[in-house]
Amino acid sequence: MTYVVTDNCIKCKYTDCVEVCPVDCFHEGPNFLAIDPDECIDCTLCEPECPAEAIYSEDDLPNEMVHFLDLNADLAQKWPVITEMKEAPADAEQWDGVPNKREHLER
């Protein structure tokens, strides 16, 4: 099983989660983080660290977010690994909780 970054990370991109990941499975894009499902060890450490509550275990993924499983896998192959926390975007709080942000995802 893997953990999955979902919609609410888009344009929020808090990086608290990467600090606790023991296997460095997070990858950073312009305005979103992705988890490499082949690297994730299901340790559960990242989920409670996400201020935007954008990380779910694969088993708990809401039906409307299932497509994020494949999206994370795809983007993790293209984006570089991120291992250290960075400052959140200046407008992250404005975007936190905004629904249906997929159209804002930058690749």
Q: What is the pLDDT along the chain (107 residues), one digit of tens a residue?
A: 899 999 999 999 999 999 999 999 999 999 999 999 999 999 999 999 999 999 999 999 999 999 999 999 999 999 999 999 999 999 999 999 999 999 999 99
Residues 6+ away with beta carbon under 8 Å from 106: 29, 30, 31, 32
Contact criterion met (CB below 8 Å) for 83 and 16: no
* Separation CA 37–CA 20 (nearest Å): 16
Q: Looking at residue 103, what DSSP letter applies?
A: G
